[in-house]
Amino acid sequence: MKPLQEMSVAELEKAIRRHNDLYFKQAKPEISDEEFDLLVERLKRLKADSPVLEEVGSDLSEGSGKKVLHSTPMLSLDKCYTVEDLADWASKLKGDVVVSPKIDGLAIAIHYDETGRLFRSETRGDGTKGDDITQNVREVGDVPERLAKGPIEVRGEIYMRLSVFKKKYQDNFANPRNLAAGALKQKDPKKTAEYSLNFFAYELIGMDLKEEIEKIRHLKKLGFTTIDTEVVPNQPEKLQAAYEEYFKKRDSLDYELDGVVYKANQIEDQTRLGASSHHPRWAIAYKFQGDAAQSVLREVEWSVSRTGVITPIGIIDPTRLSGASVSRVSLHNYGLMKNMGVSIGAKVLVMRRGGVIPNLEEVLEKTKKIVEAPKKCPSCGSPTEVRDDFLFCTNGKGCRSTRLGELRHFVDVLEIEGFGDKMIEQLYDTGYVEDLPDFFRLKRDDLLSLERVGEILADKLIAQIQAHRTVPLPLFLRSLGIPELGKHSSEVLTKQLRRLEKIREASEEELSAIHTIGPVIAREVVNGLREKSGTVDKLLQFVTLDERSLAKEGKFSGKTFLFTGKMAAMERGAAEKQVEALGGEISGGVTKDLDYLVIGSEGYKNRDKGNKWIKAESLMQKGAAIKILSEEEFLQMLESSPD
């Protein structure tokens, strides 16, 4: 296989499809979990909307086996590899977090009828439908055949205990996860029983509860073996401590785990954050990633980011991780570094995660030379201050490193090629580019005055700038470098409000009411746009905003759709793709700007009004021009015109 950085999008998609099939369907993996995750993360960066990403995790068997439609999608978990990404996710929650180990097994759903009798079970499959494994699951010892009450659906993980695997199978099979996958899909259920599989329950559907932890308590009462679960305060150091605890004890557990799962404890949080087509936004897996090694910490350097945060970088004795020599490791942030007791000369455990700079996982042996925070910014010499767990430069707007980071971020997001770090440093230090709009003021002679810039390069750079004078609104918003205003938030705001003027005028309350935005993102966006209002005004003198959605042109152009309820003629995902192919957009929720709410055939026929239907009618009574359609009416629209 080619080196990761040299693979094209097409090569990545082909490799991911192949290795997904080998792992999830054939149980014959050829690469490690870490290598597969790196392929997926690389494709996400190059082509976030690749359809192959929707296939990752599918274990749906081909052929004539019976397929079962899930009651609700069995989505994958989003993944992160750093405490910063975990903290970013957690910042969107209002309440505490439920933490549990991520079992390396097979996700299944088990259904119990009104009398409490087990009547159906299926694999996760492609998330929408799975393989019927009812008879095989009856042979798993700790799956109850009957419950005290129903109807209830229980989801969890089938796995093989490490003690069973080591005793009976390790000489002939690669790992317990692949063996369990094969055992669960035996044609003769009695053969499944011979493998001594087990089941951990973690999800309960069919009961109206207010907290995630209540599901675990009810599952225990019903007789299920549940995953070890605890409620942790939503604080970065507490969340990281939970990860470290599982990392330390994973070798002593009787099951394989490849990370830690974090979920919003409050069901209200879960409802507010919702889900993408691939994963719930209220849950995330913090993965154990890559090789680990011991070394000695010799020095700590401090790096200033574009947001003014000063982060510590550890210099260690060179050690080999994943085939490469490593001498620099991330020390996360000042607060976590301090809590871990990082000291010069300490013996440390480091791990490479996600193919990026390795992280310090644990201080194994401390010394008395505790690392203290610098009193002055290493870039500009201004005083520093600690806010929560983070160390900041107090001269954020004037700090050289912060300004360089903002300029770097701007050209990266807009994909203005040719402006590397050295080039940006020269432009900043000579005064040619001190703020974002200055890129568009550059002249050929300005560039020719710089070191190692000839006429050909200068012409190319000017041509690149000229080619980016029309900017799609989502990219424009992202390029400003406002915290929380990333790809997803920019797309959502563009779809909902459509014009920069409306986004700039919106209040925190108005933005937080938009599905998946919430109060944290709303506050950062409102404050960020206010602080950068001067920069935005100047940029608009040079660039033209394309305020259209990134959707295709077609007969649904300018129209927003939202689907709810079970579809009869096609799956919801297919219906959404039809809309987007015809120029329409899929809304993140029911708002006054929604054009069409499409109700699945069965729900519409039975007048089974869910929350979306009720909310749409409420908005219609207040003057919103929402149209509620049956699935059949939507299909007629596909054949005719949107009107």
Among 588, 544, 349, 334, CA closest to 440: 544
Q: Are 320 and 221 in contact (CB under 8 A)?
A: no
What is the rounded CA–CA span in Å between residue 270 and residue 247? 26
Distance set, CA 102 to CA 157, 243, 361 (Å): 10, 11, 18
What is the rounded CA–CA span in Å between residue 466 and residue 482? 24
Q: Are 226 and 200 in contact (CB under 8 A)?
A: yes
What is the rounded CA–CA span in Å between residue 291 and residue 347? 17
Q: Known catalytic residue: 129?
A: no
What SS3 class is residue 88? Answer: helix
Question: Which tokens hold the place of 440?
Answer: 């568009």
What is the rounded CA–CA span in Å between residue 152 and residue 145? 13
Question: Which tokens hold the place of 317?
Answer: 């004795």
> Could you tell me how far CA 454 lies from the centroid of its own chain?
43
Q: Are 177 and 104 in contact (CB under 8 A)?
A: yes
Among 420, 550, 416, CA closest to 479: 416
303, containing H or E segment: strand 292-304
What SS3 class is residue 588? Answer: coil
Which of 79, 92, 102, 263 is catalytic? The answer is 102
Residue 1, amino acid: M
What is the rounded CA–CA span in Å between residue 515 and residue 368? 50
Q: What does the chain come to in residues?
A: 643
Residues classed as catalytic:
102
